[in-house]
Structure 1
Amino acid sequence: MLTITLVGFESLAVATILPSIERELGDLHLYGWVFSAYFLGSLPGIVIAGRLTDRFGPVRPFAMGLALFSIGLVMGGLAPSMPALVLARVVQGIGSGAIPAVVYASIGRSYTEAVRPRMFAILSSAWVLPSLIGPVLSGTIADQWSWRWVFLGLLPLVALSGLLTLRSLRSLGRPSTHDIGPIAIWAAVQVTFGAGLVLSGLSAGSSPLIALSLVAGGVLIGIRPLQSLVPPGTLRARPGLPATILSRAVLTYSFFAADAYVPLSVTSIHGTSATTAGLALTASGLLWAIGSWIQERKVTTWGPRTLVRAGFALILLGITLVSIVLNPSAPLSLVVVGWGVAGLGMGLAYAPISLLVLEQAEPGREGSASSSMQLADVLGVALGAGSGGALIALGDALQWT
């Protein structure tokens, strides 16, 4: 739980301080890549960790993920340029991708279906502290000292959480007979490369021919390997586990396509500080935790599907409210309210989808099902952030104001 808290803090912190980073390092056209690189890096980490957990238990993949995450923090804190920061985010992503895959698989393997909703609520509560203090604290650090300390300052806490978590994980690992195989690993690499080409195409707004070629090439390279990493029928929304996995991708795309750019819109359009911009992310994260608390108590009476529908509706409402703030004359408080509503929607929908995935997974295949779910998460976030980044790059190239 402590490790998830630190990963959550880092995620919220980067979204808050990125406008400050861009002012120092420049390269606005790479703004979206700071997010997308992180989640693209998560793809191989998720797939490999999920299958290693099925094969060897959770200790090895967790330790490997934590080590890579720490290396990425050092690289990020010392980054001399925006491309170097993007590379650091790739390394961070590989490491952080392993952590939730191990955690979800451990929950599926160690707890009964009756207890899992409570465990997911507890897991979501790990985001409460980062939501309350993460954006404001990281914004204050960036305003008063340097954004670099947001990365470097996490290292001692990551080391402590690793020692504590590894002790508890040793009692959970039960290797199975499933083989991770080089095919799954190579498929993850192909999906990562294909998604990277798609995102590059989305960012190549100045040349439509190049953009279309990159997107088409990325789809051709990545689509078949992706089908081998998710349950058959996922891209066609086949009822059962495939449709559940696809709904997770749509959920994360919808939310994070806007979430990555809320601080930028507040600071650039309304001229506020990073600390003030962090309030919107604080509201979102806090209400996400409240939504998770509600779903844990209502999932048996309302059912997970009702909660998921309500969550999608609230996210749509939140995005609508936040879009109004793009008008400089709109009240700034609207972004806090709107993004808080969207966070509540994520809290209601996110954990029930996780619950459905584990319920529908075959016994002994919880790790693979969890990695498929995390894969959907990552692709949704990366493509969402990439789409938003493409719009920003296009606006910058055309000198929109």
Structure 2
Amino acid sequence: MSAAPHGSDEPDTVAMPVATTGGQPGIFAPGRRVLTSGIVLIITIVAFEALAVATILPLVEADLGDLHLYGWVFSAFFLGNLVGIVVAGQAADRTPLVIPFAGGVALFAAGLALAATAPSMRVLVLARALQGLGAGALPAVAYVCIGRAYPPEQRPRLFALLSTAWVLPSLVGPAAAGFVGEAIGWRWVFAGLLPLVLAFGAVVAGTLRRIVTPGGGAVATVSVRDAVLVAGAGAAVLAGLGAEPWWLATSLLFVGLAVGLPAFRRLTPPGTLRLAEGLPAAIGLRGLLTFAFFAADAYVPFTLATVRGVSPGVAGLALTAAALSWTAGSWIQARQVHRSGPRSLVRVGFVVLSGATLAFAIVFLPAVPPALGLPLWGLGGLAMGLAYSPLSLTVLGSAPRGGEGTATAALQLADTLGVALGTGTSGAVITWATAAGWDRSLGLVLVFASAAAVAALGAVLVARLPCRVPLEDAVTG
């Protein structure tokens, strides 16, 4: 079945395309414009939340203390995301998309309410885990929409559009969050997002009812139990990285790896851990990419605010620069990916990310204006724009019909696990540095150097990606 023809009203349903010819309606054609707008709203919600939290967290830490839990505010969100993504991806292959989406919105809203009233950093970490559990459904649902309702040659434009959804939040989000946090308190940032989430959720839910859940699709192989095991194992690994004494740290690391690796294997295509060529490599590289970027990104505003003394609002502008350049890079890849192929674009992205992360470290020098950190981290965002979407396109082009939820859940699983481990590892590095009596700046320099090394490793491993984006959807079986 194809989408409704040009000139018709919005269809009752939107089914998977069966052809990839140029005759398919565009992403804003009458039969798709509400759906496209709804997907963009989903990403806008995620963007506002991510940029606001990263901007105000230095204020939160100054109020609640517990610097050793700073990284956990990010990691808890993404560990919760792991479970939410898997649950939503599995549900998307079996139930109407509106069901996992509505559940995700409800949990995300509850997490915002708890964060707004958190009396301690530990409660805030718990609230962020709840937000992550709900938010995991949002990108998972969006990816399934793209896989089912748009032909392959239109997906690069749609992924570029999703990056554009970060533009408005990146322009007003950090400055607004910084102003609200300093003027009336950081709690109002969470409280202010709550009505937006509920309003956007109501709009998007109406569009999702139009998406067909195909019968006879691939049987989901993921399980909620394994998702919980991966999230718990990730938490154990991160706790072990910062634990004392040594025997407790070693025990936590051993248990985390022993439990988490087998569960991760069951949740992802065979060969993902060793980056086997094709689909497994695309999923594994996505984890490396997000690890490298967010390990540094979480501490960019913190560095500018606490080391160089700029206001949280100004420090948050570095995130604005990264989001805008991410959007620019995504539009560049949309024009080039079918010419150059995913391998070359992802390699360039990893190389630029490694260089940008290392270059950002010069803002620690007193003689360097802190404002230089904004364009430097903008290069990091550009790198992500070039590399991120080609990996998504590779996965979608290889996914079996009716199994888009399972395939994209595996991609999002690696994606969010990379973020959680990246931010958590950076927090552990700072904890080690503090415990050793080192200056805080030295610990932050080690964070950026480690992130750059991971990006450099990714640049080497991209040889396992296909040279060209698969244009035809794989058939089941």
* Shorter-chain TM band: over 0.9
1:160-208 CA-partner distances (Å, limit 9, x unpaired): 1111111111011314345558x7111111111111100101122x423
- In 2, Cα distance between equivalents of 1:65 and 1:328: 45
| Equivalent residue runs for 1:1-400 within 5 Å | 1-177=40-216, 184-204=223-243, 206-400=244-438
- In 2, Cα distance between equivalents of 1:350 and 1:167: 29
Stretch moving more, 25-34 or 114-123: 114-123
Where 1:212 maps in the other structure, the secondary structure is helix
Higher relative contact order (CA 8 A, sep 6+): 1
Stretch moving more, 85-94 or 316-325: 316-325
Give, as a single letter, the amino acid of the residue that structure 1 aligns with 2:74: F
Q: Which runs of 5+ in 2 are unaligned?
A: 1-39, 440-477
- In 1, Cα distance between equivalents of 2:175 and 2:331: 23
1:332-386 CA-partner distances (Å, limit 9, x unpaired): 1221121100000001111111001000111211111110000011110011001
1:135-162 CA-partner distances (Å, limit 9, x unpaired): 1111111111111111010111111111
Where 2:293 maps in the other structure, the secondary structure is helix
Q: TM-score, normalised by structure 2?
A: 0.82
Stretch moving more, 172-181 or 319-328: 172-181
Aligned residues: 399
- In 1, Cα distance between equivalents of 2:256 and 2:83: 16
- In 1, Cα distance between equivalents of 2:304 and 2:247: 33
C-alpha deviation, 1:96, in angstroms: 0.5
- In 2, Cα distance between equivalents of 1:341 and 1:23: 29
Q: Which runs of 5+ in 1 are unaligned?
A: none
- In 1, Cα distance between equivalents of 2:136 and 2:366: 37
Asked whether the equivalents of residues 321 and 334 of structure 1 are also in contact (C-alpha less than 8 Å), the reply is no
Q: Which residue of 1 aligns with 2:13?
A: none
Structure 1 stretches of 4+ with a deviation exceeding 3 A read: 175-181
Q: CA RMSD in A?
A: 1.3
C-alpha deviation, 1:397, in angstroms: 2.4
- In 1, Cα distance between equivalents of 2:411 and 2:367: 40
By percentage of residues, which structure has more helix?
1
- In 1, Cα distance between equivalents of 2:132 and 2:211: 25
